[in-house]
Amino acid sequence: MDNKSSTLELIQSQDHEPSDYRPVIGVVMCENIIDENPALTVHEKYLEAIFHANGLPIALPHELASREGAIDSILARLDGIFLTGSPSNVEPQQYGEEGVEELADPGRDKLSIALIKATLEKGIPLFAACRGMQELVVATGGTLYRKVHEQPGYMDHREDTALPHDNQYDLVHPVEIQPGGLLAELLPEYQRFEVNSLHGQGARRLSSVLTVEAVAPDNLVEAVSVRNHPFALGVQWHPEWHSLTDPVSKQLFDAFISACRIRHDLLQE
């Protein structure tokens, strides 16, 4: 039995008695300028979704990636990693291309990619949304479309900025779950469901480390998982926005926090 199977079976098992431990989840932040000062920020929706799933979110500064031994030290104190979305994009140099990314956040690129590699090596649960999924693709050796809407055959996956802010996060297109994967096991009652869409970049080529979990109507990859890992899932949409009212979003956050709790419990045995 591989790590992924054993974790999923424990999550789904009626015989498994989970502890009341609340997993500590490291959450990446984005660089912004506030009052002319550099700042690191994270949208409260991400933190609320983790709190609602009975986890404890902790924001992670970019400087961790520049301090020797800091990544390993912080991961020894965490039960999981959550990679948020962001207005910024992954720089093309991170996946072997040239050019300038106008909406760049190099500090986040550096931290997220280092976290992903260490997390996967250590078998720590990971959940990634939107930019976070793109970081997962890049960190495992894949590439991105820099502007999906300019690619022949693909629809425009960006939000409609003419709508009120909250309506930009409404469900706008379906995704189809691929059979036999992590999403199919976590969401057995769904084969197809609606998601929001607020991204310009998208997965172009995946490495053999990743499995396609869901696709959009235009066949753009909408979700991926890491092979032979207890729980490492990336989704291209924003599940945090409706994590209390949307059944799929709630199930995904609950499953992530359950995987983090199970890993903690097993390490205590």
Residue of 7, 1, 48 whose CA lies nearest to 25: 48
Q: Please give the positions annotated as active site.
A: 130, 238, 240
CA distance 149 to 157: 7
**What is the biggest distance separating any 2 CA atoms in the chain, rounded to whole angstroms?**
55
Find tokens 């490495």 and name the residue: 207
Query: Considering Cα of 241, then 263, then 229, then 70, what sign does the dihedral take?
Result: positive
170 burial (CB, 10 Å; 0-12 / 13-18 / 19+) is middle
Q: How far apart are the first and last CA of the chain?
A: 19
Q: What is the DSSP letter of 199?
A: -
Nearest by Cα to 192 from 180, 201, 179: 179
Q: Would strands 30-34 and 37-41 be described as parallel, antiparallel, or unpaired? A: antiparallel
